[in-house]
Amino acid sequence: MNHPPTAVAAIVLIGAYLVGSVPVAWLLGRWRHLELRDVGSGNPGTSNLFRNAGTGIAALSGPLQFAQGVIPVLIARAVGGDQAFIEIVAVCAVVGNGWPIWLGFNGQRGIAVATGAAAAIDPALLVILLICFTVGALSHAIAVGVLAGFSLLPIAAAWIGGRGLALTCCALLLAIVLRRLEGLTADLRKADSRQQRRILVRRALLDERPGKVLVGTREEPGPAEHGGV
C-alpha cells in the first residue's frame, strides 16, 4: 500500500484535528449574538443551537459539521494514505470536534462529524447510522438512536472492512460516549448512591444532565465554566 511522506502525514493528521475542531455551531450562534455556552444545555453544538436559535440556522450547522468529517478523510485518501491512515485521520477529526483547542478542549458531541467521517470511509456505514437515527427520531428517542447506531457500527464494520475498521468505529463510539459523560463527576457528587446509577444511565443513553435546562439562559455562565475561548 502507498504511504504519504512523514511530513505530509503529520500535516494531514494535525489538519484533520483542526478542521474538526472548528466550532461551527458556536460561530453561527455568535453570528446571531448568542453565546451557546450560556443557554440551554451549554453545549456549543447543533442541538443546542436548534433549541435556542431555531431551525434555519441549525439546518446550516448540521451539513457543515458533516463536511468536517468528510473533508479530512477525502484529503487523506488524496495524498495516498492507506486504509489505516485514513481511519486514523477520521478519528482525529472527531477528537478535534469533541475537544477543540479553541473552546478549552470542551466542545461538541461529535455526532455530525463522526457521521461524516464514517460516510467518507464507507457509505455502508452511513446507511446503518441513518437507519438508527431515523428509528430514534420516529420513536422520539433520537439520543438512543444515535447511541444504537454507533454501537452497531463496530459490528457492521468488522464484517465490511475487518478488525481495523471495527477498531476505528469503536474509537468513534468511545469519543461520543465520553462527550456525553462530560461533567459527570460533578453531577454524581451532588447525588446520593441511589441516584448516581440513574444519572449515569440517563447521561449515557439520553445525554441528559439532571437539573439542566434545554432552552433559555443557564444559571451559570458558559464561558467561565468551560474555560473561555
* pTM for the model: 0.86
Report percent pLDDT > 90 for the chain: 58
Residues 6+ apart with CB under 8 A from 134: 145
Cβ atoms of 58 and 24 within 8 Å: the answer is no
3-state helix, strand, coil in the chain (%, to 5): 75, 0, 25
pLDDT value for 43:
82
Per residue in 86-127, pLDDT tens? 999 999 999 999 999 999 898 898 999 999 999 999 999 999
Q: What is the pLDDT of residue 155?
A: 96
Closest CA to 98 of 221, 204, 180: 180
pLDDT digits (tens, 9 = 90+) for 182-225: 877 777 777 777 787 777 777 778 777 655 655 555 555 444 34
DSSP classification of residue 53: H
| Per-residue model confidence (pLDDT) at position 222 | 46
Phi-psi region of 211 (alpha: psi -120 to 50; beta: other; left: phi over 0): left
Encode burial over 28-50: b for 16+ CB neighbours within 10 A, e otherwise: bbeeeebbbbbbbbbbbbbbbbb
Residue 203 burial (CB count, 10 A):
20
